[in-house]
């Protein structure tokens, strides 16, 4: 059973390889009948065309990378190779990732700015209310906010609002 399956797969893959390299030609013969064949037409036939795959390049015609002008871009009508298509696909993926990362960073920054703005507004509201405020003194204790300090803190908070709340 396995041998038959392997043999069938081998025959099928051989048939596809043979078909992939086949070239079909079409021309009119001397009596005016249309002839379609896998062999090239005789030299006496003037109007013939290849059907199916493209004809092999003429002898001495450069192919692949050699078809390009040295240092120049590839020919406009030359089909792209799989490697070129893959490279372009990866480039588009990278650009899409970079764009989404940039958008995510911008969204995070905007959210942070909104949060800073709201905190600064609430702090300014508390400072302008006139209530006594207690601040840490840096030594583990607390001190009351004096009027001069309150004025400085209000000015600094207004500057923060101007920067964050655009």
Q: 97-106 burial, b for 16+ CB within 10 Å, e for fewer? A: eeeeeeeeee
Copy the structure tokens of residue 112. 């942070």
Record the pTM. Answer: 0.42
pLDDT digits (tens, 9 = 90+) for 18-36: 555 567 888 888 888 888 8
Listed by start position, the domains of the chain span: 81-166
pLDDT digits (tens, 9 = 90+) for 122-165: 988 988 888 888 878 888 888 888 888 888 889 999 998 988 88
pLDDT category of residue 86 using cuts at 50, 70 and 90: very high
Name the residue with tokens 């990866």: 90
**Structural contact between residues 50 and 25, judged by C-beta atoms closer than 8 angstroms:** yes
pLDDT category of residue 66 using cuts at 50, 70 and 90: very low
């Amino acid at each position: 059973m396995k041998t038959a399956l392997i043999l069938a797969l081998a025959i099928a893959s051989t048939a596809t390889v043979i078909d992939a390299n086949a070239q079909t030609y079409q021309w009119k013969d001397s009596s005016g009948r249309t002839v379609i064949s896998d062999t090239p037409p005789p030299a006496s036939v003037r109007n013939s065309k290849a059907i199916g795959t493209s004809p092999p390049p003429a002898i001495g015609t450069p192919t692949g990378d050699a078809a390009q002008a040295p240092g120049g871009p590839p020919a406009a009508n030359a089909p792209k190779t799989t490697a070129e298509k893959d490279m372009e696909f990866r480039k588009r993926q990278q650009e899409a990732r970079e764009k989404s990362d940039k958008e995510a960073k911008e969204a995070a920054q905007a959210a942070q700015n909104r949060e800073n703005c709201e905190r600064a507004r609430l702090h300014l509201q508390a400072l302008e209310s006139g209530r006594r405020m207690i601040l840490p003194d840096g030594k583990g204790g607390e001190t009351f906010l004096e009027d001069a300090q309150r004025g400085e803190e209000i000015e600094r908070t207004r500057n923060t609002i101007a920067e964050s709340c655009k």
